[in-house]
Amino acid sequence: NAGVMQNPRHLVRRRGQEARLRCSPMKGHSHVYWYRQLPEEGLKFMVYLQKENIIDESGMPKERFSAEFPKEGPSILRIQQVVRGDSAAYFCASSPPEEAYEQYFGPGTRLTVT
């Protein structure tokens, strides 16, 4: 059973471009969480999704950021018109439907905005 997969592992974007980060949860997991880790800081919760539903987006910036978890395919975190302050490591985690405590983390995508 493959673990949580994220791609790309490293992403470089210029200011104003769009960044798309993908997260494939573990098999059988229907819950996905996205976190952002800024340099020198801990993980900060962004959004919690189930298939085709956003459960909690209290940590998402109001503008430019969006997330989806379609019925088929990976979860996508989308950042439009990136700025330098978006440079960070973005982690996703997945959990099975019956045990929300068990979050398994992906290796992260390190976004650099130049």
Partner 1 sequence: SQELEQSPQSLIVQEGKNLTINCTSSKTLYGLYWYKQKYGEGLIFLMMLQKGGEEKSHEKITAKLDEKKQQSSLHITASQPSHAGIYLCGADNNDMRFGAGTRLTVKP
Which residues contact partner 1 by CB under 8 A?
Answer: 33, 35, 37, 40-46, 48, 56, 59, 89, 91, 100-101, 103, 105, 107-108
Which residues, 6 or more positions from 37, have their beta carbon under 8 angstroms from its beta carbon? 43, 44, 88, 89, 90, 91, 108
Nearer to partner 1, 42 or 85 (CB): 42
Please state the closest distance from residue 81 (CB atom) to partner 1, in A: 25
Closest approach of partner 1 to the CB of residue 95, in Å: 9
Are the C-beta atoms of 92 and 22 separated by less than 8 Å?
Answer: no
Cβ atoms of 109 and 11 within 8 Å: the answer is: yes
Q: How far is the CB of 26 from partner 1 (least distance, A)?
A: 15
CB nearer to partner 1: pick between 65 and 91: 91
Closer residue to partner 1 (CB): 9 or 15: 9
Partners of residue 67 on adjacent β-strands: 77
Q: Which residues does residue 53 pair with via DSSP β-bridges, in sequence order?
A: 50
Query: To the nearest whole angstrom, how small is the minimum distance from the Cβ of residue 42 to partner 1?
Result: 4
Which pair of tokens denotes residue 54?
């956003």
